[in-house]
Amino acid sequence: MPVTPPSLFPPILPVRSGMLAVDELHTIYWEEVGNPDGIPVLFLHGGPGAGLSPQHRRFFDPHAYRVILFDQRGAGKSTPLGEWRNNTTQLLIQDIERLREMFGIRQWLVFGGSWGSTLALAYGQAHPEHCLGFVLRGIFLCTAAEIDWFLHGVQWFYPELYEEFVAPIPVEERGDLLRAYTRRLLCDDPNLYWPAARAWSRFEGRRVFLLPQEEETSSDTLDLGVGRLESHYMANLGFLEDDQLIRDVGRIAHLPAVIIQGRYDVICPPLAAWRLHRAWPGAQMRMIADAGHGALEMGIARALVGATEQFKRRRRFD
C-alpha cells in the first residue's frame, strides 16, 4: 500500500452522505465532509471510473472547508458500476450542477486530479460563475496525442507492462488497441469484460507512482469502473472538441488556480500541464521534481495541501 504522506490532515468521516438519482439509469453516491459553514470545495476523482477514497477527504482543513465529494457515474458506490451508457462529460457536468444546487452552494473551489482535472476544466469553462478557483493535479486534456501516449508511448518506459497489456489481444486486432479493448470491455459477456478490465486497470495502476509500491491497490470495483469508463471516454476523446480545454481557457483565466504536476508522470506527462500553464499565465505552476502521477506521493500531497491552505488564508494562490 502507498505510504500516507504526513502532510495530510487526520482521517475524517463524512458529516452526511447519500445517493442521488440523476436519471432513469444512474444513481450517484455523494458525501459532505468538514465544516458546513466553511469554504465550499468540490472534489473530482480521477479515472474516469476510479471513485473516491477516504484519503481524498484529507487534503482539506476540516475546520475551514466544506468538502463535497461524489462518485461519478459508473464509479465507486454509484450504480450501476461500470455503466457507460448515459455517461458523458456533459452529463457529469449536469450532475455537478445538481449537487451544487442540492447543497445550496453559490460558488466553490474546484479540486481535481488526472481525469478529475479534465472534468474540473470542462465544468469551470461551462460554469465559470460558480467557481472560486481551481487546484489541478496531473493534467489530462484528453487529446488524441495524450491518449496515444497512455496506450502506446509509455512502452518506452514500461516495455514489460506494455507487452502484458497487448498479449491478450489477437495480433490482427493490435493495430487499433483501444478499439480491441473497448469491444471487450463494453460487451455484456463477463468472460470477456472481466479479464479485459483487470488487464487495463493493472496496466495503469502499476505506473502511477515514481517509486514501486509494496503492494498494488486493486479491487473488482476499481478494475471494472476504470477499465470500462476509461476506454469509453478515451474512445470518444472525452466527449470534447479538439483541444477544447486549451481553446476555452479564457473563460476561467480570471480565476485563481494552481497546477501541480509530477516531473516523472508517465500517465499524464508534464507537457499537458505546461500547455495549460502557457495558455493560463495567471495560474501558478508547481512542478514536483521527485514525483510521478500519484496524489499520495510525498511531494504532490504536500503541494496539494499547501494549495488548499493558501486558498484558505487568502482566497488566492501565491
Task: Identify whether the C-beta of residue 201 lies closer than 8 Å to the C-beta of residue 223.
Answer: yes
Reading the block at residue 128, the C-alpha cell is: 465559470
The helix (H) or strand (E) run that includes residue 90 is helix 89-102
Cα–Cα distance for residue pair 19/265, rounded to 1 Å? 34
Residue type for position 79: T
Cα–Cα distance for residue pair 235/87, rounded to 1 Å? 13
Residues in CB range of 142: below 8 A, 6 or more apart = 118, 233, 234, 237, 238, 240, 245
Q: Which residues are catalytic?
A: 114, 265, 293
Neighbour count for residue 37 (Cβ, 10 Å): 8
Query: What length does the chain have?
Result: 318
